[in-house]
Amino acid sequence: MDRDGGIVEANTAARALLPAAAGGDRPPEDLPDWLADAHRRMSGGLGVTRLDALSGAIGERLFEAYPTPSTDGDVVWWLIDDTERRQAEEILRSEQERAAILSEVSSTLLSSLNVAHCTEATARLAACHLADAAVLVTPAQGPCFSLTYARAGGPVTQVLRAIEPATVPGLAEALQGLPPIPTQWIDPGDIPPWAIPEGFAGPVGSVIVTPLPGRGTADGALILLRPGTARAFSESEDGFARLFAARAGAALSAARLYTEQAGITATLIRDLLPPQLGGVHGVEYAGRYRPARDDERVGGDFYDVHPGADPSRESLVVLGDVAGKGLDAAVLTGKIRNSLHTLLPLSHDHEYVLNLLNAALLRSRHSRFVTLVLASARRRGVRVRLRLTSAGHPPPLVVRGDGRVEESGTYGDLVGAMPTVSARTVETVLAPGETCLLYTDGITEARGGPLGGELYGSERLKRDLTGCAGMPAEALVERVHMLAAQWLGQGRHDDMAVVAISAPRAGPLAVVNGEGRPGKTRKRQGRSS
């Protein structure tokens, strides 16, 4: 090109590129502005000999231009077609962006097992990265669907409403998990108002409907929208939306599965938790339970109080310990508690009940055994009559009014391992203010103490209980757990359970919560039902 921008000579390729310029000596009309400008700067006597990264479009293609000045002031421009490399770079950049989006999707969604949170995040991420607006459709109950609306930069809203999926082209298919309909086939005019988020800018221009793959079937579908004013979804965006939906679907179904399982666990555990105890037919009961691991709520120890049909009948107290810890053991405690509940009418004969339970356990596929204490309690006047039977279990302790601690003389075989169970039942009477304590070996086998590693032991427990004379049942079980906890320090421990049976200190059906010597003072200190 000469100083004035006229084309002096052009090769065949250049003539093909700029046909109007071919041959002529005048500045061609169709020489692109960016090239014309650059030429003026080169030849304008500004002494510029090098220009940086000169590039621009000619027609539909992209070129890089390299000038070579000659001594007579003409400039030879070498034009190199750059279209393919630019396109490749463009594709690479968009793929990198997409990989980043998918990674964000996975880390955002998989960090939560909350279904509502996952749904909201899916809609938000889709509206932010894939489209201008997104609607997540997940089946709820019957004709109702949960709809989650999101706009780029806008709030996410969730509503539950009855919709007809067939009103959105491809939605019914997507909800069945069938392959999505290509975006070009969907007429944006067919999108019903319910599928368009509030505040969406203008009429819908293009639409993607894609299934959210779940366990075996679709867990829902995603509708992506762009307004008519924006560029329509391309085929590659359609494909990317499916990838996005696959990630989101996996996260959502994991969250759903977890929620289902957590619900089942909560239901099952409810029945395994120890009951709340209180006063029954003029006898006070209190229980405390501490599982072997503080992050568990159930374990191998259990207790129940089955009230007698009326105050003249005995109530049956059961405290037991299944070999083992955790959920495995807890499931077996559930079976044993149910069996004993069924055997209540026979509880006038403890040994017989134990033998029936033994037979039932031997028939089951468990190789586990249980040790337990049965206590039948009945109020007679101000006293409480007790029948106590130990089956392979530490014998109950009776805290007398004067501070003496007696070990009841009951003993018997453990249940569930041997063909028959023999056991000796003993009777005792509690005067007002006196308490019978049932405990599992988690208490006496607590290891710790000042030197560490030493057993708490039944002798120490008896000694500590002498200071607990006259304590109400609630206070006593609390005290025993505290003693064991203090002995343990930070050490590991087995399941620990304690039940106290007390004769109230004053009046029928009164709760004792004060001090004073039982049997001597008759002052009424508290009252409850």
Partner 1 sequence: MTTPSPDFSLVVTAVPDALIVEVAGDLDRGTGEKLIRTVAERLTPDTAFRRLRLDFRHLTWIDSMGLSALLMVHHHADTAGVGLRLDRRPDFLERLLDLTGTFTYLTGIPRAAGEVPDAGAG
CA distance 270 to 304: 14
Q: Is 396 in the site for partner 1 (CB under 8 A)?
A: no
Residue 222 has φ and ψ, to the nearest 5°, of -120, 130
Note whether 498 and 481 are within 8 A (CB). yes
Contact predicate 123/159, CB 8 Å: no
Closest Cα partner for 175 from 147, 152, 200? Answer: 147
Residue 358 binding partner 1, by CB under 8 A: no
Nearer to partner 1, 352 or 411 (CB): 411
Dist. CA 356–CA 337, nearest whole Å: 13
> Which listed residue (141, 367, 520, 523) binds partner 1 by CB under 8 A?
367
Stretch that binds partner 1, among 218-226, 378-386, 390-398, 426-434 (CB under 8 A): 390-398
Site string for partner 1, 330-349 (x = CB under 8 A): --------------------
Min dist. Cβ of residue 367 to partner 1 (A): 6
Measure the CA–CA gap between 117 and 251, rounded to whole angstroms.
11
Between 34 and 411, name the residue whose CB sits nearer to partner 1.
411
Residues 6+ apart with CB under 8 A from 441: 321, 393, 394, 494
Residue 101 near residue 244 (C-beta atoms within 8 A): yes
Q: Which is nearer to partner 1, 126 or 488 (CB)?
A: 488
- CA dist 360 and 369 (Å) reads 11
For residues 73 and 311, what is the distance between their CA atoms, to the nearest angstrom? Answer: 122
Structure tokens at 376: 């039948």
Task: For partner 1, give the closer residue by CB, 317 or 421.
Answer: 421
Measured between alpha carbons, how far is 184 from 205 in angstroms, rounded to an integer? Answer: 11
What does the alpha-carbon distance between residue 301 and residue 461 come to, in Å, rounded to a whole number?
Answer: 19
Element (H, E) at 144: strand 144-151
Question: Least distance to partner 1 from the beta carbon of 440, Å?
Answer: 10
Residue nearer to partner 1 on the CB measure, 172 or 455: 455
User: To the nearest whole angstrom, how small is the minimum distance from the Cβ of residue 287 to partner 1?
Assistant: 20
Site string for partner 1, 397-416 (x = CB under 8 A): --------------xxxx--
The answer to whether 253 touches 219, Cβ cutoff 8 Å, is yes
| Distance in Å, CB of 336 to partner 1, minimum | 14
Q: Label the pairing between strands 411-412 and 423-430.
A: antiparallel
Nearer to partner 1, 230 or 417 (CB): 417
Q: How far is CA 91 from CA 94, 96, 233, in A?
A: 5, 9, 16
Smallest Cα–Cα separation from 390: which of 451, 438, 340? 438
CB of 454 to partner 1, least distance (A): 9
Least separation in angstroms between CB 388 and partner 1 = 15
Window 417 to 456, contacts with partner 1 (CB under 8 A): 417-418, 421-422, 441, 445, 447-448, 452-453
Nearer to partner 1, 281 or 350 (CB): 350
For partner 1, give the closer residue by CB, 2 or 445. Answer: 445
- Least Å distance, CB 332 to partner 1, is 12
Count of C-beta atoms within a 10 Å radius of residue 404: 13
Q: How far is the CB of 421 from partner 1 (least distance, A)?
A: 8
Q: Are 50 and 68 in contact (CB under 8 A)?
A: no
CB of 248 to partner 1, least distance (A): 43
* Residue range at the interface with partner 1 (CB under 8 A); choices 187-195, 274-282, 337-345, 483-491: 483-491
Of residues 226, 306, 350, 393, which one binds partner 1 by CB under 8 A? 393
Does position 475 interact with partner 1 (CB under 8 A)? The reply is: no
Q: Under rule CB under 8 A, which residues in 297-316 are in contact with partner 1?
A: none
Q: Which stretch binds partner 1 (CB under 8 A): 72-80, 95-103, 144-152, 366-374?
A: 366-374
**Residue pair 384/430 in contact by the 8 Å Cβ criterion:** yes
Stretch touching partner 1 by CB under 8 A, among 193-201, 343-351, 468-476, 482-490 = 482-490
Positions in 368-387 near partner 1 (CB under 8 A): 368-369, 371
Q: How far apart are CA 324 and CA 368, in angstroms?
A: 8
Least gap, CB of 427 to partner 1 (angstroms): 21
Q: C-beta of 424: minimal distance to partner 1 in Å?
A: 10
Which residues ranging from 487 to 516 are in contact with partner 1 (CB under 8 A)? 488-494
**How many residues belong to the site for partner 1 (CB under 8 A)?**
31
Restricting to residues 103-122, which ones interact with partner 1 according to CB under 8 A?
A: none
Residue 311 to residue 315: CA distance in whole angstroms: 9
Shortest spacing between CB 292 and partner 1, in angstroms: 10
Separation CA 226–CA 133 (nearest Å):
7
258-297 burial by CB neighbour count: b if 16+ within 10 A, else e?
Answer: eeeeeeeeeeeeeebebeebebbbbbbbbbbbbbbeeeee
Which residues make up the interface to partner 1 (CB under 8 A)? 321, 323-324, 367-369, 371, 392-394, 411-414, 417-418, 421-422, 441, 445, 447-448, 452-453, 488-494
